[in-house]
Amino acid sequence: MNKDQLAKVAQAMVAPGKGILAADESSGTIKKRFDAIGVESTADSRRDYREFMFRTQDAMTQNISGVILYDETIRQNAKDGTPLVKLIEAAGSLPGIKVDAGVKPLPNFPGETITEGLDGLSERMAEYYKLGARFAKWRAVIDIADGIPTRGAILANAQALARYAAICQANDIVPIVEPEVLMDGGHTLERCYDVTEFVLKTLYDELYEARVFLEGTVLKPNMIVPGKLCATQASSEQIAAQTIRVFKQTVPVAVPGIAFLSGGQADVEATANLDAINKMAKLPWNVTFSYGRALQAAPQKAWAGKDTNVIGAQKAFSHRAKMNGLASKGEWSRSLEG
């Protein structure tokens, strides 16, 4: 592996004021999003949607450090024939790629899942590198409910993340490691803390065992939040305090940055929580965003599949990117949302 290159790319992914656009929705997921705005999901409509974001100059140059792509998207050309990867690069942003094959039930562990996709991954990584990818993403999913998560399921997912990360680095691609503790259900803030702490400790044990170069990685975790159905919700300050606490307990300082997933939070809520974390403490990592819905919900609704709406949709995307860029430096305020 080229450690200097990996470290340089990882640092660029979490540069101050910038974060990562997660545009890696599977065909099934983006169909659901398009159904909600009355747009048919076709190869062309998916391309047109992503193209207008990649051509949003101020957002892409000022606030987006990298874009996570889906296999279809990394191979697509814009309407004028320019590869979408080249649009991202022209804005000074880094192309990335989702490489996992999704979650499947974990045998003998009812209600728990394992992420698949390790078979043939090294060969796919080599191809993605040639297509322009300089980082990748693999998502593990940990649910909280009665009796779960179990140690066995957490360990299995951490081992898969570690193997993926090692394969990435062998191909000079920076791995985003994403162990998502879901915010579904009725669990408390404290329960989310306990599970996340164990997940992250297990993850970094496995990354060490796999000899992963931590300076060439980025962590994409959940924030410490109560479940959506919990009777007691939490303020941004409470979420920030517990999130900071768990990372100080678990994440090595060699890791260059933490880029949060939004995990179903509303767009302004995700921005407010990120800002509170950065306002509350000076941390040894750059702490930023890797949002999908929390960046795209507003532009998606504004676009609604119509060319005449592209400018308005780009303005909505620029606004959310700017708000999250400010939050990544602890400089956001709710008054800026007007």
Active site residues per annotation: 178, 220
CA distance 13 to 96: 10
Per the DSSP assignment, residues forming a β-bridge with 304 are none
Instruction: State in Å, rounded, how far the first CA of the chain is from the last one.
Output: 47
Other C-beta atoms within 10 Å of 54: how many? 27
Total number of residues shown for the chain: 338
User: Which residues, at least 6 apart from 62, have a Cβ–Cβ distance to it below 8 Å?
Assistant: 17, 18, 321, 322, 325
Cα angle for residues 193, 195, 200 (degrees, 5° grid): 95
Radius of gyration of the chain (CA): 19
Alpha helices in 181-291 (DSSP H): 189-209, 236-250, 267-280
Say if CB 14 and CB 286 are below 8 A apart: yes
Q: If we measure between CA atoms, which residue out of 201, 54, 73, 205 comes closest to residue 131?
A: 73
* Type of residue numbered 118: L
Say if CB 191 and CB 152 are below 8 A apart: no
The pairs formed by 102-107 with CB atoms below 8 angstroms and a separation of 24 or more are: 102/26, 103/139, 103/141, 106/153, 106/156
